[in-house]
Amino acid sequence: EVQLVESGGGLVKPGGSLRLSCAASGFTFSSYPMNWIRQAPGKGLEWVSSITTTDGFIYYADSVRGRFTVSRDNAKNSLFLQMNSLRAEDTAVYYCARDLGASNYYFDYWGRGTLVTVSS
Amino acid sequence: EIVMTQSPATLSVSPGERATLSCRASQSVSRYLAWYQKKPGQAPRLLIYGASSRATGIPARFSGSGSGTEFTLTISSLQSEDFAVYYCQQYNNWPPFTFGQGTRLEIK
């Protein structure tokens, strides 16, 4: 069974940093591109970042580029999101999600999310 | 960036009836369109990909149609567990992947 479990969320002050993790199981993690997607309170879904299978290509939303860094450790079946210079508008539930790549860039499995709250 | 617009924002339907949700893209996305169901406190669930292909385990009452800029998600004979928020997402032209703002399907 495919499972994605996020962790690392919490309360942080504006300008602070946080590192999110996503532990994957039930599939060959190294074979799949991975993504971070967020949902601010009362808002819709917003794609944040994507990373291909071997870090060859990394993409960011304009809203986080230069502040967030995505990475993965295929040996540990883990995805990460380093979030720096956090702002109030980064407050959201952050989900990791898998896509199938090769033009199939839809998200077939998601985790349950981890809440990040940026507030003084 | 391709803008996805969903309508209506809220749809009130009685159990057992049909629900029709719309999604429009600001430019053609061919058939690279997915639909997701989102319930509070739960992970989003993939329903439809490729505009009309049902994901694994999705009941046949869910169907998708459309291409280019106009898409529809139809849920025939609504069940109690279908009341949720539904999102469309384009994956034809990225980054960024873009989602619609969602349609809330509520019990009438």
Given a cut of 70, whether residue A95 has pLDDT beyond it is yes
Closest CA to A2 of A75, A97, A101: A97
Are the beta carbons of A107 and B34 separated by less than 8 Å? Answer: yes
* pLDDT computed for residue A55 by the predictor: 63
Are the beta carbons of A111 and B43 separated by less than 8 Å? Answer: yes
Q: Strand pairing partners for B11?
A: B105
| Distance separating alpha carbons of residues B86 and A13, to the nearest angstrom | 32
Averaged confidence pLDDT in chain A: 95
Could you read off the pLDDT tens digit of each residue along chain B, which spans 108 residues?
A: 999 999 999 999 999 999 999 999 999 999 999 999 999 989 999 999 999 999 999 999 999 999 999 999 999 999 999 999 999 999 999 999 999 999 999 998
What are residue A9's phi and psi, to 5 degrees? Answer: -70, 170
What are residue A88's phi and psi, to 5 degrees? Answer: -55, -35
Nearest beta carbon to residue A95 from set B32, B43, B97: B43
- The residue ranges of DSSP E strands in B1-108, in sequence order, are 4-7, 10-13, 19-25, 33-38, 45-49, 53-54, 62-67, 70-75, 85-90, 98-99, 103-107
Q: Cis omega before residue B44 (within 30°)?
A: no
Nearest beta carbon to residue B55 from set A95, A97, A108: A108
* pLDDT computed for residue A101 by the predictor: 85
Q: Which tens digit of pLDDT belongs to each residue from A1-24?
A: 999 999 999 999 999 999 999 999
Q: Strand pairing partners for B16?
A: none
Average pLDDT over residues A40-55: 91
CA atoms within 13 A on the CB side of A17: 7
* pLDDT computed for residue A104 by the predictor: 87
- For residue B91, the chain A residue with the least C-alpha distance is A105
- Give the residue from B97, B101, B104 with the most A CB atoms within 10 Å of its CB, the best one to mutate: B97
What are residue A81's phi and psi, to 5 degrees? Answer: -140, 110
Are the beta carbons of A47 and B99 separated by less than 8 Å? Answer: yes
Instruction: Tell me which amino acid residue A96 is.
Output: C
